[in-house]
């Protein structure tokens, strides 16, 4: 048992990551370039996606998804009450209306039954943004069914969900039987299962991802690597107003090594989850997290719920007492 305070998710950075970042710093090219494209391809293959775009955050990835799909003023996007603020912020940045629906009590993910009710009664719904909260996949099959019936795009907030599985596919892979637009946003923030310090990834169809790529760099038709390297061309066009959401090679170098280590890091994470389940599952005042049979959670966060009727104190007081120990 630890005697010192355990901080939230310190990054697991080894000598291989440090060496790869140093090698990139010495290469003479540190912004978006070859390492970033290598990372995109490796990530695409890892999750089974059709295409991937590396960006500077999951927030940027979600914003790009909305912009790429043309969602804007007068449109509505349905999402969940249980999420980080950025899921809703990006909807409002596009001047669209966020419609919040309640969650399933066991997983705290978007409730498909609530989604159906909101879509039926609310005008102008163009997309749904489910969140794979704490790493446990949302129940995507009924969400895809509802989206198919109502002609909605699906943008998945997978900031917590690498690597997570829903039935026989990893989150981020193409969903069989769903032919409407589907984009998935991942986070590589410092506390995530895979980190690039700051960073994110957007996966989806090649057409949508390439459209998002233009949005991600000032609406330019070529990035710097394609303009200034020996195989590139200096000529480019600015085809639309865009953003500055690109990932740098220094971040991608870190991500490439982290991705190679992700399976082993995840095995360690699962071993810790089993220890928590064994120790905390016997405490009657606590409720341990639930994992549905058809999913494999990424276990980004191990959520304990307090049975306050048995505990006798409120949550904040409980946390304060834990910090004293």
Q: Does residue 192 carry a catalytic annotation? A: yes
Among 58, 60, 117, 125, smallest CA distance to 98 is for: 125
Cβ of 162: how many Cβ atoms within 10 Å? 26
The string of DSSP letters for 163-213 reads: T-EETTEEBTBPPTT--S-EEEEEE--TTSSS--SS-EEEEE-HHHHHHHH
- The three-class DSSP label of residue 2 is coil
Among 243, 237, 248, 247, smallest CA distance to 67 is for: 243
CA dist., res. 53 & res. 210, Å (int) = 8
Q: Which helix (H) or strand (E) holds 140?
A: helix 140-150
β-sheet with 51-55: strand ranges across:
51-55, 200-204, 182-187, 153-158, 125-129, 76-80, 97-101
User: How deeply is 134 buried, as exposed, middle or buried, from its count of CB atoms within 10 A (0-12, 13-18, 19+)?
Assistant: buried
Q: Which helix (H) or strand (E) holds 154?
A: strand 153-158
Among 304, 323, 176, 201, smallest CA distance to 262 is for: 201
Which of 126, 192, 226, 323 does the annotation list as catalytic?
A: 192
Instruction: Report yes or no: 126 and 77 within 8 Å, Cβ to Cβ.
Output: yes
The residue assigned the tokens 């912020």 is 89
Catalytic site positions: 192
């Amino acid at each position: 048992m630890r005697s010192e305070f355990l901080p939230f998710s310190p990054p697991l950075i080894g000598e291989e990551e440090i060496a790869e970042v140093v090698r990139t710093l010495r290469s003479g090219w540190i912004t978006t370039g070859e390492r970033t494209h290598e990372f995109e391809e490796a990530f695409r293959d890892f999750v089974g996606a059709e295409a991937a775009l590396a960006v500077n955050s999951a927030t940027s990835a979600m914003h790009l998804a909305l912009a790429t799909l043309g969602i804007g003023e007068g449109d509505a996007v349905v999402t969940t009450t249980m999420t980080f603020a950025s899921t809703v912020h990006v909807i409002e940045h596009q001047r669209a209306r966020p419609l919040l629906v309640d969650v399933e009590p066991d997983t705290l993910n978007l409730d498909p039954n609530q989604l159906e009710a909101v879509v039926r009664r609310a005008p102008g719904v163009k997309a749904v943004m489910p969140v794979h909260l704490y790493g446990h996949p949302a129940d995507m099959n009924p969400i895809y069914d509802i989206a198919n019936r109502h002609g909605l795009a699906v943008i998945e907030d997978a900031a917590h969900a690498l690597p997570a599985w829903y039935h026989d596919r990893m989150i981020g892979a193409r969903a069989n039987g769903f032919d409407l637009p589907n984009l998935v946003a991942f986070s590589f923030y410092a506390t995530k299962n895979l980190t690039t310090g700051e960073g994110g990834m957007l996966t989806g169809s090649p057409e949508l991802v390439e459209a998002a790529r233009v949005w991600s760099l000032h609406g330019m038709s070529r990035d710097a690597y394609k303009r200034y390297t020996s195989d590139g061309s200096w000529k480019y066009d600015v085809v639309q107003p865009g953003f500055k959401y690109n990932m740098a090679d220094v971040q991608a170098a870190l991500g490439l090594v982290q991705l190679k280590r992700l399976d082993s890091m995840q095995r360690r994470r699962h071993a810790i989850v089993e220890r928590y389940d064994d120790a905390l599952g016997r405490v009657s005042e606590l409720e341990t997290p639930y994992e549905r049979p058809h999913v494999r959670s990424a276990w980004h966060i191990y959520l304990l719920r307090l049975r306050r009727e048995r505990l006798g104190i409120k949550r904040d007081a409980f946390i304060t007492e834990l910090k004293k120990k």
